[in-house]
Amino acid sequence: MEDRSLGGGRISVPVVGLGTWRRLEAAAAAGRHRELIGAAIAAGIRLIDTSPMYGGAERLLAAALEGRRSQVLLADKIWTPSPEEGAAQLARARSGTNVLFLSVDLCSLCLRPQDDSVTMFVATALFGDGAAGVVLRHESRASGQALPSRASIVASGEHFWRQTEHIMGWDIKNDGFGVVLSPELTQLLRHRFQSALDGFLAREGLTLKDFDGFLFHPGGRKVLECLASMLNVTPADLAHSWAVLKNYGNMSSATALFVLERALASNAKGRHLLGAFGPGFSAYFVVVDLFWC
């Protein structure tokens, strides 16, 4: 079988690989997943593709490769609608291990001195660089071996509004990243956010009354004021979001984790709704239970 080089010739793999989506689980149903992998290796296939989103493929592949792991190159990856779900998926796939999820956003890359538009001025004043990290660990509480934790992820979800690319995002220019930031953002939130949130809560069997607090991505002053009005909460109920906005500005994805960190530092407890917003326009939801340690 023909080989081709990867990574500047440091790795050589055959032109034909083996995908494990559905295929491995189907073979396992007949008790033949080890036979399948053995036949592939015997045929000269040394590149195998897998992923945590392929159901039990990784677990079955690990069992089938016992004693011959060195004979193949594994291509593993995560595909999800959001980085948060990707990190959670990875943690679930590797029960009992720690997964470090990093969020790093360098919003200053969008600074283009030659752009004298109002959008550029607002973006420069509002956005900042930020980085945050979270250690995720999937444990079965039923086993009684769960480690102490400050927070537990209960549910997550996301929503994308079609044909809203003009609301927020980036437009690649000759001199860098052009910022797309429309004043229609708050209008979209007022008219369409509630239904997206209600849909997520309904799928999880929850209502707003089930939450002890709200931790929202502080996209800006108008965004927080709009959220407070829709959720029928006071500025004090969004105090952590307001504090992060005042001290750091909007650091894109890392901002939501700054809000979570501030809530943990203040010994907040109970069920909280963590919400964030992204380009597109899109919204992300995570239900977290906070504990005292």
- Phi, psi (rounded to 5 degrees) for 218: -80, 80
Q: Answer yes or no: are the C-beta atoms of 107 and 251 closer than 8 Å.
A: yes
DSSP element (H, E) containing 232: none
**Threshold 0.75, pTM exceeds:** no
pLDDT tier, 126 (very low <50, low <70, confident <90, very high otherwise): confident
Q: How many CB atoms lie within 10 A of CB 214?
A: 20
What are 75-90's pLDDT values in tens digits? Answer: 887 766 666 666 666 6
Taken in order of first residue, the domains within the chain and their CATH numbers are 3-76 (no CATH), 83-290 (3.40.47.10)
DSSP state, residue 126:
H
Please report the DSSP string for 241-278 in residue order.
HHHHHHHH-B-TTHHHHHHHHHHHHTT--EEEEEEEEE
Q: How many CB atoms lie within 10 A of CB 222?
A: 12
What are 145-193's pLDDT values in tens digits? Answer: 555 578 888 888 888 898 888 888 778 888 777 788 788 888 999 999 9
